[in-house]
Structure 1
Amino acid sequence: MIFLRICKFYKDKNGSAPVVATVLLFPLLIVLIYSGVMYGQMADVSSVVEEAARAGARYYAAHFGEKKAKDEAGKKAKEVVVGSVNVTPVKEIEKKKLTFNEKTDIKVKKDGSYAYCEVTYHYPTPVKKLTRLIGGNDLTDDMKITGKAYFKISEGG
């Protein structure tokens, strides 16, 4: 009954053209809104991993030459990622795969006279095989978001 009233409300001289247009455009509107939310989350993750890379490289440059400076720099980078509210190392239920693994996703090294840190986060995509369209790897269902930073190694270190 309510559906018939809604159809009468939208019906005009052209028949049910407004209803058809609404039915066709509504899913596109939902996709656009969802894409905007997903892009915002990816931008936030990118900001977090860049800050984590800066923290790791900064610590390694300031404490270069000390024992376990490389490990401590990796821990500093991990603290930034894990401490973020929006980026947490959560296991995907269906794949049992970590989105952030501190052992493989944080790389700290000396590059000439600079300390270098790279942090990678695997952003899971909700639509499988979508990553191929937006620049991800064809073999996985996630996008790698990477932050890199260089800091000059201090003369005293």
Structure 2
Amino acid sequence: MKQVIQDSLSLLMLLFLLAGCSVEPKPIAYGAANCAHCSMTLSDKRYGAELVNDKGRAYFFDSAECLAAYVVDQPELGNKAAFLMVTNYTNPEELIEAQKAYFLQSEALPSPMGMNLTALAEAATAGEMQQQLGGQVLSWDQVLLAVQNDEKFK
């Protein structure tokens, strides 16, 4: 009986350890966290972004362009990332995968670092906002290229 209890406790402890090491996006601490790329304090909930590495460590960014610049500057971190997440502009509490997001680049929506990139979860929403505000809709790969070439939409 004593062995069964010890085995059960060992299994329970192992489960707790594994649960504590889960690799998943973390909530962004606006007003407290600093951008891993530019060191600015994250303040605008509509533009936050996050990289979670393969070990579960989260890096926070004040904008999609800072996340993109970080990935462009350190491709090994971007390639090994478990998650690349951006804030959905229309629902700031929601993080969406950068690779699945639609980015409206429009001067009518100035983002914190000046590339005017706004992440959206739905293609239809991006298209509607583009019609109303002007600009262009980009994929994540196009965002990476624009950041690499410092291309601001005019």
Q: Say whether the fold is shared (TM-score over 0.5).
A: no
More helix per residue: 1
Q: Higher RCO, 1 or 2 (CA under 8 Å, sep at least 6)? A: 1
* TM-score computed with the length of structure 2 as normaliser: 0.32
Larger radius of gyration: 1
